[in-house]
Amino acid sequence: MIRVRAWLMVLIGAIATVVVGCSSADSAAEAAKAAAQAANLEIYVPAVVELRDRFPEVEPAFAKKKWRDIQTFVHGPLGELRERMARVSRNLPKDQQKLAAKATGDLFESLLAMDEAAGRFNYVDAEKEYEKAIVALDAFLDLVPSSPTGELS
């Protein structure tokens, strides 16, 4: 009877070792990382959306050809946009990070060109770059999941 118990304990130990050894810790780590990224996105995305919602504030400056107001808007409120977008990008899935980087690059090229056009008092180019900036920012925001489940907005 003692030998049976001893063998039974060895068998249970072996089964436990196999079960623990075959379990996937990577899946648990990936799930935890995904949950943390989703939580971070819930924090960082509203800050980017807030700046997107401020874009129409500069439209009257185009109509009135207030070049300094356009430049102030680009360097003022939109000055934080790069940092905020970088925070969001770092928390996107790997496959979307490259697309986010491209959209971010397109946005800042447009903002730089808009600033330069305003400095040259060129209404047509400034407004064209403004439209490109909005398209690029919207493309960036389209990459952001609308919920923690990962569904795109």
pLDDT value, residue 152: 41
pLDDT value, residue 101: 92
Which two structure tokens, joined as six digits, stand for 19? Answer: 């079960």
Cβ–Cβ contacts within 10 Å for residue 64, how many?
A: 9
The answer to whether position 14 is within a domain reads: no
The answer to whether position 66 is within a domain reads: yes
User: What domain range includes position 52?
Assistant: 37-142
pLDDT for 53-67, tens place per residue?
A: 999 999 999 889 899
Whole-prediction pTM: 0.72
The answer to whether position 21 is within a domain reads: no
Split into its structural domains, the chain has a count of 1
- CATH number, domain of 132, equals 1.20.120.290
Of 23-37, 48-62, 106-120, 133-147, least confident by mean pLDDT is 23-37
pLDDT band for position 16 (cuts 50, 70, 90): confident
Q: Is the pLDDT of residue 141 over 90?
A: yes
Provide mean pLDDT across the span 95-101: 91
Q: How far is CA 134 from each of CA 2, 92, 93, rounded to the nearest angstrom?
A: 78, 20, 23
The answer to whether position 1 is within a domain reads: no
CA 98 to CA 71: how far, in whole Å? 29
The answer to whether position 85 is within a domain reads: yes
Q: Identify which has the larger pLDDT, 140 or 26.
A: 140
pLDDT value, residue 1: 67
pLDDT value, residue 10: 73
pLDDT for 23-45, tens place per residue?
A: 665 666 777 777 877 888 888 89
Region of residue 152 (phi > 0: left; psi between -120 and 50: alpha; otherwise: beta):
beta
Q: Is the pLDDT of residue 149 over 50?
A: no
Q: Is the pLDDT of residue 81 over 80?
A: yes
